[in-house]
Structure formats: structure tokens, C-alpha cells
Structure 1
Amino acid sequence: MSTPPSMRASASSIGPPSPLQNAIDSTSDVPESPLAGVPDLKTYLAETEEEKLAALKLVADGIAQMRQTANRILMYNPYNLAAFLAFLAVVSNYLFKTRSDIGILFTTSAGLLMAAMVTVRRFTNPYITIAEEVHISLLDDADVLVTKFGEEIIGTIIVGWVDGETKGKKRKWRAEIRGWAVRLRYRGKGEGMALLTEAVNLAKKKDADGIEFAPDHAYSKRVLWDFYNGPFDKKEKKAESKLQALWGNNTKSKKR
């Protein structure tokens, strides 16, 4: 069957295919990797002084950020809120006589709120001082693990070594975590747990007796009264529990 003249004319008007057509078609079908251009994420032992100082600064930043947590604890504590609202009610009852007093009542309440916030910040300000006093001695006789995302250090854990039990002629060591920090915007993504795991692996590699948080670790100091330190203590116990769970799981896997 012959091709109708109209179809032959339209086909011939298109012209021969471009020699690059096949190459273009073949590359356009290959999807770009979703990880293309994403920096590498790696954890390793810091070797340079610059990396160790960056890790130390990250720990100091973590201490300074404890002030924000302490501020929230004081401001949202139920007893503190109740006392402030009661005081505000007394002041309002004293000031408010007629509708014309609403302006004065509003400005006075705002002033009292600002004064309360300034008082809270004054009580938590020592965390800034503690952060500024973080000394390079924290790195003495310690291994510093850092997590790097591209060229940025986003996490660190500082592992010190203390004498453990001597078994026979073999000297044993015990690992102590002196500092542990993840940059604020990278928290909640598992980087902290990954660093704990790396610390456990390092302790096992060095045949340590065990691993724990040092009694005087970087976040051990408290500036509030014991009544308010529950959230800090709870977080610390949770971290210690995770660390011991990792150590126990690692020990079991080695015995298999």
C-alpha cells in the first residue's frame, strides 16, 4: 500500500534526525542522584589543633545554650507562674478603679513582666560565665572525635582516659566522656547517638574496662536551685542510660 502524498510531504519536510538526538535522549532519561551535591558526613579522630579547638568551642556553645533551657524552666514552672499571676492580680486590684485606669494597668503589667524576665536572666547568667571558662585542659590526655558535614564540624565528643583495674600484668583503662555536643540546627537527627556509638567503639578498640560520663563533665555544673534542676538531671540520666546500653550491646556482639 502506497503512502498518501500528504503524509510523504509532511515526513520529508521534517528532515533527517540530528546526530546528537540519541545522545540527548539517553542522558535526559537518567535521573540525577538525590544526593548529588550533598557534602560528606564523616566522624573521625581530630588530629589538628584547629579541629580540637573548634570542638572545644562547640562544647562551650552547648553550655551557653543551657541558659535558654534554664530560662524556660524558671518562666514556665507552675509555682513561679502562679506566684507571678497572683502578684499581678494584687497589683491590678490596687490600680484598677475606673475604665480610665486600663492604660495604666496595661503599662504596669508589661513593666512587671519585663522585670520578671530580667530577673530570670540574671539568675541564669552564670551559664555564660561557665561557658567562657571552658579551658583547653579539657583536652588533656583525651581523644577528640568530631563529626564533619562538608567542611563544618557539627558535633564532637571528648573522651578522656583514667586508670582502671589492673588485671594480671595488663593495665586497664576506663573511658570518661568529658564533653559531648551537636550544633543546634543539627540536633534531633541522630548525630548525638552516633557520636556516643563512636565513643563506645573507641573505648572497645583501646580495650577499656568501661565507659561513663566524667563526674565533672562539661555540663555537670548547675546554677539553679535543686528544685529547678529536674529537666537537666533527667536529660543527663537518659544520656548515661543510652551510653551504658550501647556499651552492653557492643560487649554482647563481641562475645558472639
Structure 2
Amino acid sequence: MSTPPSMRASASSIGPPSPLQNAIDNGSDEVPGGPLAGIPDLKTYVAETEEEKLAALKLVADGIAQTRQTANRILMFHPVNFGIFLAFIAFVGQYLYKSRGSDLGIVITTSSGLIMAAMVTVRRYTNPYIALAEETHISMLEDSDVLVTKFGDEVIGTVIMGWVDGETKGKRRKWRAEIKGWAVRLRYRGKGEGIALLQEAVNLAKKKDADGISFAPDHANSRRVLWDFYNGPFDKQERKAEAKLEAMWDNNAKTTKSKRR
């Protein structure tokens, strides 16, 4: 795929700095020694250096590996699994209690061993997430724009955007933005950084006159390790993100039309 001319522009061509950098303001109006003194800047922009791009790629890989923790919880606390396991523990405990002369110690020890064995089994079935994380290849960065959010010198969030052929309108060739990877460092999740990054991705796609934006069919978190029966939480989360991205694009388009009037 040839690279669209708009993609050859430098980072400075995508417009003013991200509005995210205003989330923490250490400007000249700040009183020296005040409550925000010493807090690093928060800023979002298109990565310019290989170091920043590789840090973003590593963040995506870390996000895939951390998905294993969610998969562990799903397997352990799924109503069906949890109910069957509790029934099994109760059956074994009752049998041992009656057959070993009401020895409660044996019951507790055996039950603890069964719980540990169950946890090891669960981790065995979610191990493939580690392999998927290790398969995250630098080729993901090819023909892509890498948006990064940095808190000081640390990359805490990223969106990796690829470009594919879109609809051709007349003689003008259009491009469509696809999100290959989207990740926020674990301790910064739940603070709105992920949604803010999606908005920045929409802004960049609009700036480069893209025909639209969506998640790539094979994006970094698209692969499933568990059986379909257990993938409901992952599918729900993905549908929510897709709906949010679509709504952002539509809102951006409406705003643009309003400004032109």
C-alpha cells in the first residue's frame, strides 16, 4: 500500500498541541511552591522518535499481557464455574469430615490444596495471552501514526493508527484510519485517558481528511484465548469502544459542518 501524501507530514502539521496538555497546567501563572509545583506536564502528540514509538508498542504489548488477569477472574468467578467448584469443595469436604473422624484440619488443608490447583489450572488456560503479547511486532508501526500521551517523560497511553484505502470520490482518492493498538498504562486507567486518546485519534483523522475511522479487524486486542462462552465481557468492552469511537467521529463531523455554515 502506498503512503498517502497527508501521512508524510511532520508532527507539527497536525495542528496545535493536544488539549490534554491543559489537564495539568504548570504555566507562569502558577504560584511557585503551590499545590501543582513539581507535577510533570501531561501532553498528547504524534510520536517523533523511535524511542517514543517503541515505548508505545511496548505499552500495547503490556496491555495484552495484562488482559490475562481479566481472563483469570472470568474463569474463576464465572457463575457456572464458581458454582460447580463450590459444590465440589463442599462434597469433598463433607466426605473427608465424615470419613476422617470429623478432622476439620484435613478438610481445610485439602480444600486449600484444591483451590490452589484450580488457580494453577486457570493460569494454564490463560497463558496464551503472554504469547500474544510477545508476538506484538514492530511491523505494527509501519505506515502508521503513533499518538502518545506522556506524563513527564513517561509514555502512559497510546493509539497506533494505520491507513487503508477508503471510498474514492470522483478523482480524489480517500483514506480511512484504522486503530491497530490502543492502550493506557495500568495505574492510569479509569481516569479518562483512554477516551481522550480516542478523541485525539479522531481529530488527527479529520486533520488528515480521512474518510472515516474504526478499529482494525485484527487490532491488538481482537484475538481471544478463552472459549466463546467466556468472552462476553471482552466482546462487550470492544462494542462499547467501537460505539464510542463512532459517536466521536459523528460529533466531530457535525461540529465541522456547523463551523462551515
TM-score (norm 1): 0.86
Is structure 2 residue 218 aligned with structure 1 residue 216?
yes
Quote the offset at 1:231 in angstroms. 0.5
Residue aligning to 1:44: 45
Give the alignment of 1:62-141 within 5 angstroms. Answer: 62-97=63-98, 100-141=102-143
Residue aligning to 1:149: 151
SS at match of 1:37: coil
Q: Work out which of the residue numbers 232, 240, 247 in structure 1 matches 2:234.
A: 232
SS at match of 1:167: coil
Looking at structure 1, the residues matched to 201 and 209 of structure 2 have their Cα atoms a distance apart, in angstroms, of: 12
Residue aligning to 1:17: none
Quote the offset at 1:88 in angstroms. 1.1
Residue aligning to 2:180: 178
SS at match of 1:248: helix
SS at match of 2:252: helix
Aligned residue type for 2:65: A
Looking at structure 2, the residues matched to 94 and 36 of structure 1 have their Cα atoms a distance apart, in angstroms, of: 64
Looking at structure 1, the residues matched to 120 and 185 of structure 2 have their Cα atoms a distance apart, in angstroms, of: 27
Looking at structure 1, the residues matched to 66 and 173 of structure 2 have their Cα atoms a distance apart, in angstroms, of: 39
Looking at structure 1, the residues matched to 50 and 115 of structure 2 have their Cα atoms a distance apart, in angstroms, of: 46
Quote the offset at 1:33 in angstroms. 3.1
What is the CA deviation profile of residues 38-68 of structure 1, one whole-angstrom value per residue up to 9, with x for unaligned ones? 1111111111111100000000000001000
What is the CA deviation profile of residues 144-183 of structure 1, one whole-angstrom value per residue up to 9, with x for unaligned ones? 0001111111000000000011111111000000000010
Looking at structure 2, the residues matched to 246 and 110 of structure 1 have their Cα atoms a distance apart, in angstroms, of: 49
Quote the offset at 1:100 in angstroms. 4.6
Residue aligning to 1:12: none
Looking at structure 1, the residues matched to 90 and 187 of structure 2 have their Cα atoms a distance apart, in angstroms, of: 40
Percent of residue pairs bearing the same amino acid type? 78
Give the alignment of 1:14-29 within 5 angstroms. Answer: none
Aligned residue type for 1:234: K
TM-score (norm 2): 0.85
Aligned residue type for 2:190: G
SS at match of 2:202: helix
Looking at structure 2, the residues matched to 100 and 78 of structure 1 have their Cα atoms a distance apart, in angstroms, of: 30
Looking at structure 1, the residues matched to 73 and 140 of structure 2 have their Cα atoms a distance apart, in angstroms, of: 29
What is the CA deviation profile of residues 86-136 of structure 1, one whole-angstrom value per residue up to 9, with x for unaligned ones? 111221222112655211111110000000000000010100000011001
Residue aligning to 2:256: 254
**Greater Cα radius of gyration, structure 1 or 2:** 1
What is the CA RMSD across the aligned residues, in angstroms?
1.2
Quote the offset at 1:34 in angstroms. 2.4
Looking at structure 2, the residues matched to 31 and 46 of structure 1 have their Cα atoms a distance apart, in angstroms, of: 31
Looking at structure 2, the residues matched to 195 and 104 of structure 1 have their Cα atoms a distance apart, in angstroms, of: 54
Looking at structure 2, the residues matched to 61 and 40 of structure 1 have their Cα atoms a distance apart, in angstroms, of: 23
Quote the offset at 1:32 in angstroms. 4.3
Looking at structure 2, the residues matched to 85 and 42 of structure 1 have their Cα atoms a distance apart, in angstroms, of: 49
SS at match of 2:212: strand
User: Which range moved further: 139-148 or 94-103?
Assistant: 94-103
Q: Which runs of 5+ in 1 are unaligned?
A: 1-29
Aligned residue type for 2:67: M
SS at match of 1:57: helix
SS at match of 1:158: strand
Residue aligning to 2:20: none
